Structure 1
Amino acid sequence: MKVKEIINQLHYFQKWRRGADIEQPNPTEIGKAIDGAIRELRNFQRLKVKIEKKREE
């Protein structure tokens, strides 16, 4: 799942969760989007740590 798709699905889910009059998202797709967001955040964190280590050198 691409980052843009993850963002769109999580945004849709959040709108539904807050009471928007839209169809309930598929729970499996929500889970996939959450997994993708976690993966991207972990990748970002690893990159951030690498950059910080290089700055210390």
Structure 2
Amino acid sequence: MAQVTMKEMLDAGVHFGHQTSRWNPKMKPYVYTARGGIHIIDLQKTVVRANQAADF
């Protein structure tokens, strides 16, 4: 399967998470920051795991 790039994920809006008031604390390692009441997901970690899943 093709490898996913960070640019593709950014263009698809993968980095937008849930509202900061509705988050699960177990996701803290994967949250990059919060802006405008929305968590921003760490795409560096996401792209690595997505590609590992694609290779599985």
Shorter-chain TM range is 0.3 to 0.5
Select the structure that is richer in strand. Answer: 2
If the length of structure 2 is used for normalisation, what is the TM-score?
Answer: 0.33
Q: Larger Rg: 1 or 2?
A: 1
If the length of structure 1 is used for normalisation, what is the TM-score?
Answer: 0.33
